[in-house]
């Protein structure tokens, strides 16, 4: 009786395919993480101008603990 071995051959590649899949998942998420860190240090100029024009922030220390005060229009 002859057995078809097509599925057994695919099972031999399972660790290899898993490593390739995990590599692409890690690459995909690292793009978002690195871009988030980059834009935290270097924000887009249009967003930075809008945020600076509408908010004023000050640290208030009226004899007690420091408070961060933000005033919007």
Measure the CA–CA gap between 61 and 69, rounded to whole angstroms.
Answer: 10
Average pLDDT, the chain: 74
- Per the model's pLDDT, the better-predicted residue between 1 and 31 turns out to be 31
* Residue percentage of the chain with pLDDT more than 70: 49
Q: What is the mean pLDDT of residues 9-19?
A: 85
Measure the CA–CA gap between 28 and 5, rounded to whole angstroms.
Answer: 34
Residue 71: partners with Cβ closer than 8 Å, 6 or more residues away: 55, 56, 57, 58
pLDDT tens digits for range 26-56:
999 999 999 989 888 887 776 555 555 555 6
């Amino acid at each position: 009786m002859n057995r078809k071995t097509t599925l057994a051959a695919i099972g031999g590649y399972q660790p290899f395919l898993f490593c390739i899949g995990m590599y692409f998942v890690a690459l995909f998420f690292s793009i978002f993480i690195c871009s988030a860190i980059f834009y935290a240090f270097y924000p887009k100029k249009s967003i930075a101008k809008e945020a600076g024009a509408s908010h004023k922030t000050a640290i208030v220390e009226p004899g007690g603990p420091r408070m961060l005060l933000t005033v919007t229009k």
